[in-house]
Structure 1
Amino acid sequence: MPTYRELFTHREFRFLYAGQVLSYLGDQVAAVAVAVLVYDRTQSALLSAVAYASAWLPGVLGGPILSTYADRLPRRAVLIGCDVARALLIALVAVPGLPLWAAIALLYLAHLFSPPFVAARAAIMPEVLPGEAYITGNGLSNITHQLSQLLGFVAGGVVVAVIGPVWSLLGNAATFALSAALITIGVVRRPAALTGDGPQGLLAQSREGIRYIVADPWLRTCLALVWVASGFSFAPEAIAYPYAASLGGGPAQAGLLLAAPSAGFMVGAILLTRVVTPERRDRLLRPAAVLSTLALVPALAGPGLTVLLVLLVLAGAGASFLVPLNAVFVRRVAPEFRGRAMGVAASGLLVVQGLGFLAAGAAVQAGLSPSTVVGLSGLLGTAAVLGTRFARDRVEAPTG
């Protein structure tokens, strides 16, 4: 397996990776800023969750369709266009005096550009990193994502407390602009993956991509496990600020609650992609998926901050089973379908996480304590994960 250092001998990867780091860090700071901005203005856990879910729910509005552009158009152009659009829209959210409903609407509009961006980036990576370098690069990208969440959420709580949510959002807009510039400079132009063969309409091509996934039993069951586990295991993020407030804390404590799962995920991803053998990794995927939700169940007892952080770290470590599955998923899909397949996968993930965020916020708003909501998420999630076929059957890498 290539080392992490060897990945940076590929010029395009260096620029894509630098842009990824910038935008990820900005996103995590902005996530804390949005939660604080809305909750401080409304004192509503539900509205805070609605705003926080803006990074996820737009996938249900058109993610699978919009991600088709990652196959229809040159993927470099899709990446640049999405970054520029998000930079402008997030900057508008920070306009002083903007009504809250308008700010939330702009957040949702900005995040409509996330599914095509994620699809285009995932689809182009096997072309940037050949062979086994892609497996290593995919692992590094996921680890970097979690590390940026760890640092961004911890720093985000402090940054928002010091400079306020408005300047934090402007910083997030700047990271998108810098990412677009890096991609413009460092990524080569490639033609669109789709040719003149097959259906030509946007909707027809979107349906073709969905049918491609549905026709493959392994892809179907893989997505089922990923979506079910993620919908429950990440739901507590939406109520991190109200949870911290219930424990007598503020933005800094909320940042710790958001960072803990990322720390666990990062450690688990390193173990699964760089330490254990492929055979042992396959045997660990099922128990890891169960751990991602089971670790949340003890929150029903209402533990203090320290114990809660340990539980969230364990849940994040279990959720790292997503990393090796993602690499196998992308490599299985034919190149001309990768944008659409990853769009469906990413959009479904955004949807289930967004619904989980809304459910968690609504439960707290209805009167349940945050600890009860987290514990119930773990209990229901464990039952759902154990009920998936992929969790019961032996995990095997597909052939062909």
Structure 2
Amino acid sequence: MSYQAVLRNKNFRNVLLAQLLSKIGDMVTGVALPLLIFSRTGSVASMAFMMLTYWLPNLILAPFFGIVVDRVNRKKLMLGMDIARALLIGLIPFVPLYGIYLICFLTACASEIFDLAKFGSTKQLVKQEELVEANSLVQGLDHLIGIAGPALAGILIAATNLVLPFYVDVATFSLSALLMCFVAIPDVERKPQQEGWLEKSRLDFKEGLSFVKTSAPLLFSMTLFLLVMMFAMPMNVLFYPLFQGELGAVSWQIGLILSLFSVSSLLGTIVSPKLNRRFNRIHLILLGLFCMGFFSALLALSQNVYLALAFYALGAFFNGFVNPLNATLRQENIPHNLMGRVTGMYFSAVNSLSLVSMLLIGLFGDLLAVRDLYLAAGIGYAVVGLLGFFSPWYAKTKGMYETEKTALEQV
């Protein structure tokens, strides 16, 4: 399969364009909102609280949103969430600080529902053999926006004010909603239920949890990335202290580093389908995780900012090809009617240790050397890639993909 074949799918192409528009708006708001809050309060704690309001829906509410995604037509959900986000973002310039926090929380809830519906609809819109290419396009688009998005947002804010970016975001969500009107996504078949809403929700949750417990690929991926995120989040928190504080990077070098990360991730995403056709997917995921951690550890040991930049870019490349492969693994092993709630459970479980690791970094970040903490996180990341070979579900999951590849080669 090729990217051209996937892009000829009108419905998937419209969803992809809708994602492009909304992500551009998100990028602009993502730069403007922290500046607006800091200009009003001058408080770092206020910005941290804003980040928490964005984080909580993914961590706590995702499984319950997944139940909704499995019950309601996913096109209607994505369309409704685009409209809701447009209305909410448009209110930001007019509300007090506590209103902004509430809007952040509600917007994050709408985004979580949209993302769960989009993830499930991808499997409905493309063929099974096109999933890796489709997920590579979804991930690649995010990386592409990450290359130029922050700079464009900064230019827009500098040339105008802190209010216009929110209206730009409103416009992008509105255009995204318009595109979604031309997407056809079928309803998911469900067994009729006579119970009340609460009882149906309990049974839906139980059904999703029971499925997760019996799926070797999901248990393999979930436990693996639960540990990965425990080390990934500290590296994100320590990025600026390491590059600016330890390596002496100036602002333009930081911008170059962030853009190069997106470029390298994009390259990894592009080659992901080709690698998937030649090698066992489970081996690729574990190799990518190990290399990401290995180059992160070398970054922590670097004394030169440009050498550190090179290691950062190499790690980003491996991170880039792992994400589409892992996303496709989940889609291939979750039925349509369980996609929302199982994916929600997956994200909540995977992100649960992230909060703990971020708390630990907050407690010990000023007591221990930044390089030592980053080095420990990089080594831990690499060790997780090796531990995957000893997972109780490794052999069965690896065998499933070997069987699949053998069958494809015989066709």
1:290-326: CA deviation from partner (whole Å, max 9, x where unpaired)? 2223322244447454334333322322223121121
The structural deviation recorded for 1:14 is 1.8
TM-score normalised by the chain length of structure 2? 0.81
> Residue 56 of structure 1: SS of its match in structure 2?
helix
Equivalent in the alignment of 2:407: none
| Alpha carbons 1:71, 1:336 under 8 Å: kept | yes
Q: Which has a greater percent of helix?
A: 2
Equivalent in the alignment of 1:129: 126
The structural deviation recorded for 1:377 is 2.9
The structural deviation recorded for 1:114 is 2.5
Q: Separation in 1 of the partners of 2:16 and 2:174?
A: 15
> Residue 94 of structure 2: SS of its match in structure 1?
coil
The structural deviation recorded for 1:62 is 1.0
The structural deviation recorded for 1:16 is 0.5
Identical counterparts, % of pairs: 21
Q: How does 1:50-199 map to 2 (within 5 A)?
A: 50-95=49-94, 98-99=96-97, 101-184=98-181, 186-188=182-184, 190-196=186-192
Q: How does 1:5-16 map to 2 (within 5 A)?
A: 5-16=4-15
| Alpha carbons 1:297, 1:376 under 8 Å: kept | yes
Q: How does 1:1-400 map to 2 (within 5 A)?
A: 1=1, 3-38=2-37, 47-95=46-94, 98-99=96-97, 101-184=98-181, 186-188=182-184, 190-196=186-192, 201-238=200-237, 246=245, 247=248, 249-250=250-251, 255-275=255-275, 277-279=277-279, 281-301=281-301, 303=303, 305-319=305-319, 320-349=321-350, 351=352, 360=361, 364=365, 366=366, 373-388=373-388, 389-390=390-391, 393=394, 395-398=398-401
Q: Separation in 1 of the partners of 2:171 and 2:307?
A: 37
Change (3 A) 1:206 1:276: closer
1:233-287: CA deviation from partner (whole Å, max 9, x where unpaired)? 254445656667644645x655445444333322222222135643265433212
Q: Separation in 2 of the partners of 1:104 and 1:197?
A: 38
306-315 vs 276-285, which deviates more? Answer: 276-285
Q: Separation in 2 of the partners of 1:360 and 1:176?
A: 35
Q: Separation in 2 of the partners of 1:45 and 1:302?
A: 29
| Alpha carbons 2:193, 2:200 under 8 Å: kept | no
TM-score normalised by the chain length of structure 1? 0.83
| Alpha carbons 1:229, 1:293 under 8 Å: kept | no
> Residue 296 of structure 1: SS of its match in structure 2?
helix
Change (3 A) 1:352 1:30: farther
Change (3 A) 1:178 1:347: farther
Change (3 A) 1:256 1:172: farther
Change (3 A) 1:192 1:344: same
> What is the one-letter code of the residue matched to 2:130?
A
| Alpha carbons 1:265, 1:316 under 8 Å: kept | yes
| Alpha carbons 1:90, 1:106 under 8 Å: kept | yes
| Alpha carbons 1:83, 1:180 under 8 Å: kept | yes
Unmatched 5+ stretches in structure 1: none
Alignment length (residue pairs): 394
> What is the one-letter code of the residue matched to 2:269?
A
Unmatched 5+ stretches in structure 2: 405-411
Change (3 A) 1:332 1:20: same
Change (3 A) 1:358 1:52: farther
RMSD: 3.4
> What is the one-letter code of the residue matched to 2:140?
I
Change (3 A) 1:62 1:327: same
| Alpha carbons 1:150, 1:259 under 8 Å: kept | yes
Q: Separation in 1 of the partners of 2:169 and 2:360?
A: 27
42-51 vs 203-212, which deviates more? Answer: 42-51
> Residue 295 of structure 1: SS of its match in structure 2?
helix
The structural deviation recorded for 1:169 is 3.5
| Alpha carbons 2:289, 2:384 under 8 Å: kept | no
167-176 vs 321-330, which deviates more? Answer: 167-176
1:341-380: CA deviation from partner (whole Å, max 9, x where unpaired)? 222233445555566556556655x466665554443234
1:161-201: CA deviation from partner (whole Å, max 9, x where unpaired)? 444544334323332222112102x1125334433159762
> What is the one-letter code of the residue matched to 2:164?
W
Q: Separation in 1 of the partners of 2:94 and 2:243?
A: 28
Structure of higher CA gyration radius: 2
Q: Separation in 2 of the partners of 1:197 and 1:206?
A: 14
Change (3 A) 1:25 1:93: same
The structural deviation recorded for 1:38 is 4.5
Change (3 A) 1:141 1:20: same
